[in-house]
Chain A
Amino acid sequence: NAGVTQTPKFQVLKTGQSMTLQCAQDMNHNSMYWYRQDPGMGLRLIYYSASEGTTDKGEVPNGYNVSRLNKREFSLRLESAAPSQTSVYFCATQGTGGLPGEQFFGPGTRLTVL
């Protein structure tokens, strides 16, 4: 039972390159989230998916796209990376059986854009 997994763990990109961050969960949760974490700013929501087939923007969606491929997988894509997107990215899930707001986090992807 792996919980929430993210790949890759680390990535270095050059400005303008594209990449996709992968997130998968085996918790059978409906809701999935992508956050970015920057020093002194806590976590900020990029996009979320309340259920398979739906996605919505969060607080900082610009420069990102997402795909909810199925119930298990939620990917985050950077089409043209910029240095401002250097951050640590976390995927999280939330189930219907638990308390609203109780989320489970993956280990994070550390992205550097040069």
Chain B
Amino acid sequence: AQSVTQLDSHVSVSEGTPVLLRCNYSSSYSPSLFWYVQHPNKGLQLLLKYTSAATLVKGINGFEAEFKKSETSFHLTKPSAHMSDAAEYFCVVSDDRSSNTGKLIFGQGTTLQVKP
């Protein structure tokens, strides 16, 4: 069975400093992995996705994530945090990479706080 673990429930950074949100996954095969972002009182929005085409994935708003099979990790990074990045971030794995009806399995979420 697939699962994801987000290693930090809360991360606080200063504006202009790097962001690192950590995610480990468990999967019996090469998974499809995603990061979703949820701004306060909003729905979720896809930030980026890994499909095995490239291990370094670029997303919206300057975020990147690197798939590391040997470490079973898919950490989210951004070189310089902006106040607008304050949100909750979810690492997600799809339980079926071949199907468009596959279900998503969510991590517990990491709240990113950005201090001025």
Chain B binding surface SS class: loop
> Are B51 and A43 in touch, CB under 8 angstroms?
no
> Are A42 and B106 in touch, CB under 8 angstroms?
yes
> Are B43 and A100 in touch, CB under 8 angstroms?
no
> Are B97 and A100 in touch, CB under 8 angstroms?
yes
User: What is the chain B residue whose CB lies nearest that of A103?
Assistant: B104
User: How far apart are the CA atoms of A103 and B98 in the complex, in Å?
Assistant: 15
| Interchain Cβ contacts under 8 Å between A and B, 5 examples | A30-B100, A43-B106, A50-B101, A99-B32, A101-B104
Asked if A26 is at the interface of the complex by the 8 Å CB criterion, the answer is no
User: How far apart are the CA atoms of A90 and B41 in the complex, in Å?
Assistant: 12
> Are A101 and B43 in touch, CB under 8 angstroms?
no
Which residues in A have some Cβ–Cβ distance to B below 8 Å?
Answer: 4, 30-31, 33, 40-45, 48, 50-51, 58, 90, 92, 94-96, 98-108
Q: A90-B44, A101-B94, A102-B34 are in contact. Are A45 and B103 (CB under 8 A)?
A: yes
Given A100-B98, A108-B43, 5 new contacts (CB under 8 A): A41-B108, A42-B108, A43-B104, A100-B100, A105-B43
Q: A100-B96, A106-B43, A108-B43 are in contact. Are A43 and B90 (CB under 8 A)?
A: yes
> Are A95 and B43 in touch, CB under 8 angstroms?
no
Residues of B within 8 A of A95 (CB): 100
User: How far apart are the CA atoms of A95 and B100 in the complex, in Å?
Assistant: 7
Residues of B within 8 A of A51 (CB): 101
> Are A100 and B32 in touch, CB under 8 angstroms?
yes
Asked if B99 is at the interface of the complex by the 8 Å CB criterion, the answer is yes
Partner of B101, one of A4, A43, A94: A94
User: How far apart are the CA atoms of A40 and B98 in the complex, in Å?
Assistant: 29
Partner of B100, one of A31, A41, A45, A90: A31
Residues of A within 8 A of B44 (CB): 43, 90, 92, 105
User: What is the chain A residue whose CB lies nearest that of B91?
Assistant: A42
User: How far apart are the CA atoms of A104 and B41 in the complex, in Å?
Assistant: 16
User: How far apart are the CA atoms of A3 and B33 in the complex, in Å?
Assistant: 23
| Distance in Å: Cβ of A22 to nearest Cβ of chain B | 15
Q: A40-B109, A42-B107, A105-B43 are in contact. Are A100 and B102 (CB under 8 A)?
A: yes
Residues of B within 8 A of A41 (CB): 108
